[in-house]
Amino acid sequence: MISIRGLRFQYKGAKRAALDNINLDIADGDFVGIIGTSGAGKSTLTYALNGIVPHHFTGDFYGQVLVDGMDTVDSSPEQLSAKIGSVFQDIDAQMVASLVEDEMAFGLENFGVPRAEIGGRIDEALAMVGIGPLRYRMIRSLSGGEKQKVAIAAIVALRPSIVLLDEPTGELDPQSSRHIFSMLRELNERFGLTIVVVEQKIMLLCEFVRKLVVMEQGRIAHAGAVREVLAHSDEMEAIGVNVPRVVTLANRLRAAGLYDGPLPLNIDEAEVMLKTILSTDYAD
């Protein structure tokens, strides 16, 4: 479990806090999406979870962040990485080997995993992520989506309980982006991994995650179940966070007293909503 209480962090030399009074709980096995405009504090929040803040980025740090009971101030990023594995936005910068198998073995060797166990760990992680055939491929020959999956598999091989991703689909096309999120959902549902992902593509978040955290100028503006948060679509749009058009439509129909059912998150659910409206007394 992740527990954040009263977190405030201001980078050295900055004029304002990057994070201000953050309070948040993320339960074991949760799938959480973090969204917000540029400068909202999303990446800094991820740095606070994996210990990069305050160990590598210095500044004024107040409050407490616990990751599976480990205080991120008292624990080094290396110690925390046994609990929380991080996949950064710049995948090419994260890669250290030329062959997929070697990339995965690198982290395992650094963690002191016995050599006799490394092959099995690689097999297991590749199977979990669904990329077994890539094991002997050269990394330079992979597509962007395949590289993302290799990076995730390399983290999964370390067996953390939490996987943290910062904009994993930023450079990917829509189809590849969906493949990444489908794989993340599989890891979450089949293997119980806690997934925390920063992402700008809100339609993807709405379809795949269970909880949303909306950030604004270093603070949490809204947090909770996806439909609960999207009920505040007007407020989200006012701070520059776009929401799916079907959500905006549904909230306007609710405000007009024409609909009181569940909030649709995609076109299929919007079709059900409209059919419901047209087949009831609302149409009168």
Residue 68, amino acid: D
Whole-number pLDDT of residue 156? 92
Tokens linked to 66: 């616990």
As beta bridge partners, residue 220 has 215
10-residue mean pLDDT profile of the chain (284 residues): values are 97 95 97 95 95 93 96 93 89 89 93 92 92 94 92 92 92 88 93 94 92 97 95 92 91 90 89 88 52
Q: Which domains can be identified in the chain, with CATH numbers?
A: 1-83+160-240 (3.40.50.300), 97-157 (no CATH), 244-284 (no CATH)
* CB distance 118 to 81 below 8 Å: no
Distance CA 34, CA 197 (A): 6
pTM across the whole model: 0.90
Please count the other Cβ atoms lying within 10 Å of the Cβ belonging to residue 162: 24
